[in-house]
Structure 1
Amino acid sequence: MINHSKKDIRIGMIGYQFMGKAHSHAYRDIPFFFESKANPILQALCGRNEKAVQEAADKMGWQSIETDWRDLIKREDIDVIDIVTPNHTHAEIAIAAAEAGKHIITEKPLALTVEEAARMKEAVEKHNVIHMICHNYRFVPAVQYAKRLIDDGRLGKIFHFRANYLQDFIIDPSFPLIWRLKKEVSGSGALGDIGAHSIDLARFLVGEIDEVVAMSKTFIKERPLGEMSGGLSAEVSSQEVGEVTVDDAVAFMAKFDSGTFGTFEATRFATGNRNKNTFEINGEKGSVRWDMENMNDLHVYFTDDEKGVQGFRRILCTEEEHPYAGAYWPAGHIIGYEHTFIHLLYEFVEAIADQRQVSPNFHDGYKNQLVLAAIEKSAEQKSWEKVDQLNN
């Protein structure tokens, strides 16, 4: 039975494939696991292919459909616009939604360019709507617990942040030229697709990035034309080939405002790595390590441990003391990828119910975009680039 004391939050979502499935599942599970002040309602799902979007709506539990996002935004029975479309559409949709007074959540990266990101940020500020960007890895209990250890001073002064995000799903040269491989649609390749997550985690855990130096590489220059077919799968649609206009891999070093030394790598050509998203943070009093493929584990080292037993210890972050973990199962009963979206969207709808801002939001997305732009410029110029110079 629905608790009518909760605030109904009527969702309109644009897009319905990989991330659409993840978001839909999360909205449905929020009231099951959390005592939320909000009641998310899957009001309308939007996509260009009427037959396909109706099938997706029926499967995922949406009440109605639209085939034009402009019609969705005009609807008075929609409170939230959830954008899970390709990157080049984010700015136009988000700005229109803000002007219509809708709260907004969008997939990452925020936009194609710094200029687009700035306009999106200005729009949500002007129209006083609640906004969020979907960096779901912030909401892993182990990552949240690492943040708590850092904030509590348990690691002391932070010397190093190193991150790797390794995938291999496009390593086959016959894999088609999907939208993620076109600069005019995606903005960048591995950098914006997966490196953006590492940048956001670094900013969340350690602080702002001041300066970067980078290199990037495109290993396969041409591919057969094709389209996404679900998840990270794709199908060839033509024997014609097109040019790959984004990076396949990027590596960069970063100087943080705090003095922390950062190293990052993002690639979709790391054979044998399906989704290896990792970081290690080294401080004067201790270190932490985390790997998304074992997302419930946080490996922790403290310098003040007794000699003879010093070393990294594995913490299974399923205890009630670990953020979000207490909403689920008894200790030791692990959760998975989909729960990161439950936590993120729970925070979003709670913020709407409370009429307060939430994080990460478009301000974070804009700052991440500044870092992405500095990395791209550095790779082109083969020089160190200040992040804040792009804010002028």
Structure 2
Amino acid sequence: MANLRAGLVGMGMMGRHHARVLGSLEGVDLVGIVDPDGDKFKAAGGRPVYDTVDQLLEQKIDYAMVAVPTVLHEEVGLKLAAAGVHALLEKPLAPSVEAATRLQEAFDAAGLIGGVGHIERYNPAVQQAQKRIEAGELGRILQVNTRRQGPFPGRIADVGVVMDLATHDIDLTQYVTGSTYRRVGAETAFRSGREHEDLVAITGQLTNDVVANHLVNWLTPFKERVSIVLGDEGCFVIDTLTADLTFHRNGTQETEWVDLAQFRGVSEGDSIRYAFPKREPLLVEHENFRDAVLGVGGTVVTFAQGVHTIQVASAVLESSQGHGEIEL
């Protein structure tokens, strides 16, 4: 069977990594790239770099990876849908619920596969946690607590931390709990003189009664990507920077230390850092989308899921403007 013909739209900070992965992906030929600024990162590998999406479509591609700024997602996505081209769009799907919904409707009407690049789903630690939670290893899930903080990335200019970073945590939380948000509340801050918020604290509740809270900022002088999932049996600590998953079990041993025994809650039990294969999340994401296009499986973050994530993020921004908790 002939290889799929793929195109890449956008050769910026993320686009260059997509070019590297697509350029060596088994069963796929990267036949062209679109970026009016050219190959400034020298990542095209000798492949043609076009100025427009129309020029790329002339190459009769089967699917495209879209890594342009969020404000351009709708324009590019709708053009691909009209041409009958499957597409994987970087997250977030679009800058607004309305734009995201239009993309979903266009791809659904054309019978095309649309995926959103929520790459944290493909982190090996997250995938391990999701499988173990689904198997009941934590018992009933009570809370998800995430911290995603670090210095400001100069490449981000069109959105704030809610759309750029918090959407990772919103999607990750829904993925590992198998649920969706019922309501959210939030506070934001603008501390660095930019147009968009650079700090947010989010609280929420999911439809399965799990309580969630997310701390996200672009103001911390170190990088942290930690998610703690608490259940009846203990908790998982997911570090997506190191792809480590650690299980802290609730203690079951009685203690003879009288002062300590007066505490009637859970106590510290065994701790296990699991060993498992660790493959590059971006490669796994592309493998899954390729397989979905081929119709041989592949787990894709659908446009419908991407729309819901933006609905939650939009509710977070609305709440932060003094509107209290927002029901979804």
What is the TM-score when the length of structure 1 is the normalising length?
0.76
Q: Which residue does 1:45 correspond to in 2?
A: 33
Report 1:77-156 matches (<5 A): 77-156=60-139
Report the residue type matching 1:198 in the other structure.
D
Q: Does the C-alpha gap of structure 1 residues 62 and 380 become closer, same or farther in structure 2, counting only changes over 3 Å?
A: farther
Q: Which residue does 2:182 correspond to in 1?
A: 210
Give the count of matched residue pairs: 315
Give the match's secondary structure for 1:96: helix
Q: Is the contact made by 1:42 and 1:61 (CA closer than 8 Å) also made in structure 2?
A: no
Q: Which residue does 1:312 correspond to in 2?
A: 271
Q: Which residue does 2:215 correspond to in 1?
A: 265
Q: Deviations over 1:231-286 (max 9, x none)?
A: xxxxxxxxxxxxx2210111110110000011101100012x23x21100000122
Aligned equivalents of 1:344 and 1:46: distance in 2? 21
Q: Does the C-alpha gap of structure 1 residues 166 and 40 become closer, same or farther in structure 2, counting only changes over 3 Å?
A: same
Give the match's secondary structure for 2:115: strand
Q: Which residue does 2:172 correspond to in 1?
A: 201
Aligned equivalents of 2:23 and 2:252: distance in 1? 44
Report the residue type matching 1:248 in the other structure.
D
Give the match's secondary structure for 1:77: coil
Q: Which runs of 5+ in 2 are unaligned?
A: 256-267
Report the residue type matching 2:228 in the other structure.
E
Q: Is the contact made by 1:130 and 1:357 (CA closer than 8 Å) also made in structure 2?
A: no
| CA shift for structure 1 position 26 | 1.8
The answer to whether the aligner puts 1:301 opposite 2:248 as a matched pair is yes
Aligned equivalents of 2:312 and 2:273: distance in 1? 32
Q: Is the contact made by 2:16 and 2:43 (CA closer than 8 Å) also made in structure 1?
A: no
Q: Deviations over 1:191-219 (max 9, x none)?
A: 11111111110111112011001000010
Identity %: 21
The answer to whether the aligner puts 1:160 opposite 2:143 as a matched pair is yes
Q: Is the contact made by 1:44 and 1:62 (CA closer than 8 Å) also made in structure 2?
A: no
Q: Which residue does 1:180 correspond to in 2?
A: 156
Q: Is the contact made by 1:136 and 1:340 (CA closer than 8 Å) also made in structure 2?
A: yes
Report the residue type matching 2:274 in the other structure.
I
Give the match's secondary structure for 1:277: strand
The answer to whether the aligner puts 1:27 opposite 2:11 as a matched pair is no
Give the match's secondary structure for 1:347: helix
Q: Deviations over 1:64-90 (max 9, x none)?
A: 2210123323x2521112110001000
Aligned equivalents of 1:70 and 1:306: distance in 2? 67
Aligned equivalents of 2:254 and 2:112: distance in 1? 54
Report the residue type matching 1:22 in the other structure.
H
Give the match's secondary structure for 1:16: coil
Aligned equivalents of 1:357 and 1:129: distance in 2? 15
Give the match's secondary structure for 2:220: coil
Q: Is the contact made by 1:159 and 1:282 (CA closer than 8 Å) also made in structure 2?
A: yes
Q: Does the C-alpha gap of structure 1 residues 156 and 315 become closer, same or farther in structure 2, counting only changes over 3 Å?
A: same
Q: Which residue does 1:367 correspond to in 2?
A: 308
Q: Does the C-alpha gap of structure 1 residues 302 and 44 become closer, same or farther in structure 2, counting only changes over 3 Å?
A: same
Give the match's secondary structure for 2:104: helix
What is the TM-score when the length of structure 2 is the normalising length?
0.90
Q: Does the C-alpha gap of structure 1 residues 62 and 10 become closer, same or farther in structure 2, counting only changes over 3 Å?
A: farther
Q: Is the contact made by 2:31 and 2:59 (CA closer than 8 Å) also made in structure 1?
A: no
Give the match's secondary structure for 1:316: coil
RMSD over aligned Cα, in angstroms? 2.0
